[in-house]
């Protein structure tokens, strides 16, 4: 079995306020303060923003996501290998987490066929028949050279019956074991292509880390069982998967309430695909350390800003001559320089700068919110911060 003492990442909880934890996650590509929000870089790019901006003081993103499914289909593993791994290919020296592709192939619905061995589906890029399994997902992620690798899992629909969710959980448990075994083999044979970054001529000392995923849909007993079986295999961190897939919000909180406090305290806890700013705060209050979500980037491209007073739709005519920034209390470079009136004009004119500027502000808002969350946990003020943050968000009424 995996020896947890030899974990390639080191995680230390430095402050706790109720269930909320502030910690330091030490990866082979530097320190990440938690709770952390990870911008999503699906196809080797966080859409609409340059890497310099992600590294800038405004954002200071320490870790971003890459997507196994998308990168595997295009440009393909051979290309990324030939270009020295994903870090070097995209020009990013900080940490990368890659998801396993399990969620994307699951999302294909009727277009995919799941068997014990893995999932068969047609590529959305060229229509070719492809097969993704735990072993392939580990091989692709080794070639990408991400710093945190996710196991290949099967996701049950949010409203899955107990029987359906159990079958899915059993399959996920068997796939987790196969993922662990193939991952361990690959770490020993030099398949990890992430050891060299764009500005790092020397190999990094550490290996890749592997996270397990807890499934079980909205059924508490199955979530417990999935957690126990995942911990038994042994991983460097643990994720809660299968939420934000069409279930009621109350089901999500029920699961997080139940599962998060039982997850191994010395390992990072990652809530996959969540969420809005208020979701992040609420999950932190339940003991979660890591998040990813496409909302700040996707909504930025469609004209929606997240602000400390709630969502703001830049299309609205009421901003036509409004000289105020998107958010009075945001220190980002977009809010320092541009008015709502100008941003609305850009959006109405179909200018690409509209999406770029809104994406920048949205990411700055998410990342700054997490910075404040960490500070409040460290100073023992998290409950007050949480109350005020939620009050302010709901005061705007949109
Ligand atoms: Zn801003």
336 alpha carbon – ligand 1 mean position (Å): 7
| pLDDT of 5 over the 60 cut | no
| pLDDT of 394 over the 60 cut | yes
Query: How far apart are alpha carbons 65 and 353 in whole angstroms?
Result: 23
386 alpha carbon – ligand 1 mean position (Å): 20
64 alpha carbon – ligand 1 mean position (Å): 20
Give the number of C-alpha atoms closer than 13 A to the C-alpha of residue 88, restricted to the C-beta side.
22
CA distances from 285 to 43, 91, 132, 253 (A): 32, 35, 36, 11
337 alpha carbon – ligand 1 mean position (Å): 9
Q: How many helices (H) and strands (E) would you count in the chain? A: 15, 16
Q: How confident is the model over 353-375, as pLDDT tens digits? A: 999 999 999 999 999 999 999 99
pLDDT band for position 192 (50/70/90)? Answer: confident
Residue with tokens 């030099």: 190
| pLDDT of 4 over the 60 cut | no
395 alpha carbon – ligand 1 mean position (Å): 19
Whether 279 is a known active-site residue: answer no
List 58, 99, 236, 279, catalytic entry: 99
Query: How far apart are alpha carbons 155 and 163 in whole angstroms?
Result: 14
| pLDDT of 87 over the 90 cut | yes
CA distances from 373 to 38, 58, 241, 276, 289 (A): 15, 16, 23, 14, 11
> Whole-model pTM?
0.96
275 alpha carbon – ligand 1 mean position (Å): 19
| pLDDT of 88 over the 60 cut | yes
Q: How confident is the model over 298-352, as pLDDT tens digits? A: 999 999 999 999 999 999 999 999 999 999 999 999 999 999 999 999 999 999 9
Give the pLDDT score at 110: 77
361 alpha carbon – ligand 1 mean position (Å): 4
pLDDT band for position 380 (50/70/90)? Answer: very high
* Structure-block tokens of residue 379: 């100073």
| pLDDT of 111 over the 90 cut | no
Percent of the chain with pLDDT over 70: 95
Give the pLDDT score at 3: 54
| One CATH from 3.90.1300.10, 3.90.1520.10, 3.20.20.105, 3.10.20.30 for 4-292 | 3.20.20.105
Give the pLDDT score at 40: 97
Give the pLDDT score at 1: 47
**For the residues 28-54, what does the mean pLDDT come to?**
97
* Structure-block tokens of residue 288: 């979660």
Q: How confident is the model over 249-303, as pLDDT tens digits? A: 999 999 999 999 999 999 999 999 999 999 999 999 999 999 999 999 999 999 9
Percent of the chain with pLDDT over 90: 83
Give the pLDDT score at 195: 62
If one compares 192 and 34, the residue with the highest pLDDT of the two is 34
Whether 99 is a known active-site residue: answer yes
Q: Where are the alpha helices (DSSP H) in 189-235?
A: 220-233
CA distances from 206 to 7, 63, 393 (A): 9, 16, 41
Is the preceding peptide bond at 92 cis, omega within 30 degrees of 0? no
| pLDDT of 173 over the 50 cut | yes
369 alpha carbon – ligand 1 mean position (Å): 12
3 alpha carbon – ligand 1 mean position (Å): 44
- How far is residue 12 CA from its own chain's centroid? 20
For 24-47, letters b (16+ CB in 10 Å) and e give ebebbbeebbbbbbbbbbbebebb
Terminal Cα-to-Cα distance of the chain (whole angstroms): 51
Q: Answer for the pair 172, 153: CB distance below 8 angstroms, yes or no.
A: yes
67 alpha carbon – ligand 1 mean position (Å): 27
Average of per-residue pLDDT values in the chain = 93
Domain boundaries for CATH 3.20.20.105 within the chain: 4-292
Bridging pattern class, strands 209-214 and 237-240: parallel
300 alpha carbon – ligand 1 mean position (Å): 12
List 147, 153, 279, 292, catalytic entry: 292
């Amino acid at each position: 079995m995996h020896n947890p003492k030899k974990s390639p990442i080191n995680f230390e909880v430095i402050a706790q306020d109720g269930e909320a934890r502030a910690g330091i996650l030490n990866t082979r590509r530097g320190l990440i303060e938690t709770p952390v929000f990870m911008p999503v870089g699906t196809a080797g790019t966080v859409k609409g923003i340059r890497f310099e901006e992600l590294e800038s003081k405004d954002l200071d993103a320490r870790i971003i996501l890459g997507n196994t499914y998308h990168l595997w289909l295009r440009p393909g593993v051979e290309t990324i290998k030939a270009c020295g791994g994903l870090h070097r290919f995209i020009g990013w020296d900080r940490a990368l987490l890659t998801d396993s592709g399990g969620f994307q192939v699951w999302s294909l619905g009727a277009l995919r066929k799941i068997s014990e061995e893995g999932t068969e589906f047609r590529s959305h890029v060229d229509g070719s028949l492809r097969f993704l399994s735990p072993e392939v997902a580990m091989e692709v992620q080794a070639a990408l050279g991400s710093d945190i690798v996710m196991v290949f899992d099967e996701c049950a629909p949010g409203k899955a019956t107990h029987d359906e969710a159990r079958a899915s959980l059993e399959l996920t448990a068997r796939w987790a074991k196969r993922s662990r075994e193939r991952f361990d083999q690959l770490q020993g044979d030099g398949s990890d292509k992430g050891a060299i970054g764009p500005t790092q001529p020397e190999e990094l000392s550490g290996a890749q880390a592997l996270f397990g995923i807890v499934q079980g849909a909205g059924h508490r007993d199955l979530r417990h069982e999935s957690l126990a079986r995942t911990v038994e295999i042994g991983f460097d961190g643990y994720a809660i998967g299968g939420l934000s897939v069409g279930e009621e919000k109350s089901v999500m909180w029920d699961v997080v309430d139940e599962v998060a406090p039982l997850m191994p305290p010395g390992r990072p806890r990652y809530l996959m695909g969540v969420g809005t700013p208020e979701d992040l705060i609420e999950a932190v209050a339940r003991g979660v350390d890591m998040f990813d979500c496409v909302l700040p980037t996707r909504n930025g491209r469609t004209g929606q800003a997240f602000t400390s007073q709630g969502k703001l739709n830049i299309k609205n005519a009421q901003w036509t001559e409004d000289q105020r920034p998107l958010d009075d209390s945001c220190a980002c470079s977009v809010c320092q320089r541009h008015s709502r009136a100008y941003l609305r004009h850009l959006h109405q004119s179909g200018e690409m700068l509209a999406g770029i500027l809104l994406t920048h502000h949205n990411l700055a808002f998410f990342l700054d919110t997490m910075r404040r969350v960490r500070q409040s946990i460290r100073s023992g003020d998290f409950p007050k911060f949480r109350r005020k943050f939620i009050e302010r968000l709901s005061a705007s009424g949109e």
